[in-house]
A and B are shown apart, each in its own frame.
Chain A
Amino acid sequence: MLEANAATAEPLIRVGELTKRFPGVVALDALTLDIPAGIVGLVGANGAGKSTFLKILLGLLAPTSGRAEVMGYVPWSEGTQLRRFVGYMPEHPALPPDVSATEFVAQAGQLSGLPAKAARERTADVLRHVGLAEERYRPIGGYSTGMRQRVQLAQAIVHDPRLLLLDEPTNGLDPAGREEMLGLIRRTGTEFGIAIVLASHLLGEIEEVCDHLVAIDAGRLLRAAPMAEFTAETGVLTVEVEEGREALAAGLAARGLRLLEGSGRADRTVRIALGGGAPFDAVRDLAADLGLPLVRVEQGRHSLEDLFRDDVAARTAAGDPAQASAGTSAGSGRGGPS
């Protein structure tokens, strides 16, 4: 399924030098990337610019500068044409309490361009798809959080969009509800064939559902690649020595290996990022040359979280302190203009 989606050649979304400044904050900083069809995860800390990015793609916000094209449309000038083919699920609850799911979703369908009759038929369809039964005739005010999220998904797909923009779709759901929502999203992307951009700060979710990943931090592109590439890169080799860690680290770095910052027993271990093959020979030779007491050599997989922490750390090391501090503050603050 991943291959089928990833194979679609033409990028669905093209973005160039996209910048959005709010008073006092740069939400997007010259973001340039292409997003292919398929299920694409947009990952970043809270405040990294994900919501701003989605809103610009929808034409809800105009950028300060830069270019964007979504399915051939410029969102902020051709928004009404574009939005007939786009579904959007905001990160916050956005449903009126005093109407029924049926009435609201049908109206949503019409507002996206469906004639009244088609809107009613598709409303019945999509509400069944998201698993809303008899309660769909009751006012939304009485729904549980899980049911509301389903209605929010239903209103986003009622008009059979080509592209679905989901902003933190599992917000506020319990673990079971989260799994169900992710299942629905995966089905929407694979079986219904709707391209999806899924914004989340939870890498686990992205890893579970997406076949392509875009990581942004402080409004800048960190990485964009197929999920397979990321998972291949997440290999890590941990080398533990009784003493002489510094010498080992220096020697490994001198041989062009990428060392990871971070967790574990920092005084005794060195963690090496695995690009392709594992550098067992290099480790063995180096330990022998330096006469180091080798305790263990262990190959494991580190999480995507580690990967991004490393990326941020690498940027700090590369002498971009302003960016790095922006990244940290974006990670800790919740109330940014996202």
Chain B
Amino acid sequence: MTAGGHRMTTGPSPAGSIYDIGYRRYEGPRLGRRHAFTTLFVGALRAAYGVGRPARAKILPAFCLVLPAIVAVIIVAMNAFAARFGVSGLSQIPDHPDMASAVGLFATILVAVQAPELLGRDVRYRVLSLYFSRALLRADYALAKLAGLSLAVVVLLLVPHAILTVGKVLLTSDIAGALGREAGAWPAILGSVVLTAAATAGVALVVAAYITRRAYATVTVFALFIVPGIIVLVIMGLDLGSASRWVVLLDLGTVLDAANAWFFGVAPSPPVWPKTGLPAVLGVITACVIALGAGGILVQRYRTIAA
């Protein structure tokens, strides 16, 4: 009360006096590139989910995060139903290996929408010169964005796996045994999720690095994820001989499906990859090349971009 009263009596201060506070020097530590990189990385991760942005920036990321979780809950419910009523053919209930194809679409949506947000904004509003004038390299900026968006996708993809694991463990009477089985599945889960995230985020960021207009970039990312799949399907359908099977490597979706199959030790899903007769490990290699290539292109792009 007294403080409020005091403020009332002083009244509004003249405009000049609000600046009149002694300047304090900064004597503390001055950290370097690693700190700057971490800051940008965390910033990119936050931006990917709209944290610290207006509410409308959070809607779509939340949607992409929650729907896969719902998918996982449904799968758990199917498991519960099967356990309760003893339905045979338990193997037909989706499990970890099926998760990628069940929720992969949401990863695509997240990167298609958020990659242009992460990169395009700084180009459009010319913020890059303020970033590049700080204690970091241009490459740090590009790689921090890639790492941030990749981790955002990792989170999105891991949540349903985590829900499924918890559900499966809780549903069984043999908790210790279930825990052991689930723990055994997690290296494969982590491998497939990290590779999927790095490749999808990388491709989307490369598009966003060259197409500044947000809408065009988003559409182009979707096109890159969808159109090659159709082309591959058509070419494979034409039966042009064994050389044509290599075109399958142009479709990121099919490549990642083969990579996931390799991680989980199952067969790649039909129809495309099995028809080629290529080993599933080729999917892993191709996805790695795509992810690393995207990182390289990004760094190169930001080395020369005007700031």
Contact = CB atoms under 8 A, between A and B. Distances in A.
B121 A96 contact: yes
A96 B36 contact: no
A187 interface: yes
Interface residues of A, number: 45
A83 B133 contact: yes
A155 B30 CA distance: 16
A177 interface: no
Interface residues of B, number: 39
A84 to B, nearest CB: 5
Given A60-B307, A113-B32, A86 B121 contact: no
Interface in A123-154: 125, 128-131, 133, 139
Contacts of B126: 90, 92-94
Nearest to B125: A96
Contacts of B28: 114-115, 118
B36 A113 contact: yes
Nearest to A139: B54
Contacts of B39: 107, 110-111, 116
A115 B57 contact: no
A108 B135 CA distance: 10
Given A81-B135, A94-B130, A160-B26, A103 B52 contact: yes
A95 B125 contact: yes
A184 B134 CA distance: 22
A114 B36 contact: no
Interface string B223-238: 0000000000000000
Interface in A78-112: 79-81, 83-86, 88, 90, 92-99, 103, 107-108, 110-112
B35 to A, nearest CB: 6
B19 A83 contact: no
A276 to B, nearest CB: 40
B53 interface: yes
Contacts of A88: 129-130, 133
Interface of A: 58, 60, 79-81, 83-86, 88, 90, 92-99, 103, 107-108, 110-116, 118, 122, 125, 128-131, 133, 139, 155, 159-160, 184, 187, 191-192
A133 B15 CA distance: 11
29 contacts: A80-B33, A80-B36, A81-B135, A84-B30, A84-B135, A85-B30, A86-B133, A92-B126, A92-B129, A93-B125, A94-B125, A94-B126, A95-B130, A96-B125, A98-B53, A108-B130, A111-B134, A111-B135, A111-B136, A114-B30, A115-B28, A118-B28, A128-B18, A128-B21, A129-B23, A133-B18, A139-B54, A160-B26, A187-B19
Nearest to A106: B39
Nearest to B131: A111
Contact of B134 (A90, A108, A128): A108
B50 to A, nearest CB: 10
B25 interface: yes
B257 to A, nearest CB: 36
Given A93-B125, A111-B40, 15 more contacts: A80-B135, A83-B133, A85-B30, A88-B130, A92-B126, A103-B52, A107-B43, A108-B130, A111-B39, A113-B32, A113-B36, A114-B26, A114-B30, A122-B26, A139-B54
Interface string B36-65: 100110010000000011100100000000
A285 to B, nearest CB: 55
A83 B126 CA distance: 19
A129 B31 contact: no
The 6 closest A-B pairs by CB, nearest first: A160-B26, A111-B134, A88-B133, A113-B30, A110-B39, A192-B23
A83 B137 CA distance: 10
Contacts of B52: 99, 103
B6 interface: no
Contacts of B33: 80
A125 B133 CA distance: 21
A131 B26 contact: no
Given A80-B32, A113-B36, A115-B31, A131 B15 contact: yes
B58 to A, nearest CB: 12
Of B26, B122, B128, B132, most A-chain CB atoms within 10 Å: B26
B185 to A, nearest CB: 37
B84 interface: no
A141 to B, nearest CB: 9
Contacts of A114: 26, 28, 30-31
A133 B25 CA distance: 21
A94 B29 CA distance: 27
Interface string B253-282: 000000000000000000000000000000
A60 B133 CA distance: 7
A1 B20 CA distance: 19
A149 to B, nearest CB: 13
Given A94-B126, A95-B127, A98-B54, A84 B32 contact: yes
A151 B18 CA distance: 15
B130 A112 contact: no
A130 B19 contact: yes
B21 A110 contact: no
B7 interface: no
A109 to B, nearest CB: 9
A131 B24 CA distance: 16
A209 B122 CA distance: 32
A94 B129 contact: yes
Given A111-B40, A125-B24, A94 B127 contact: yes
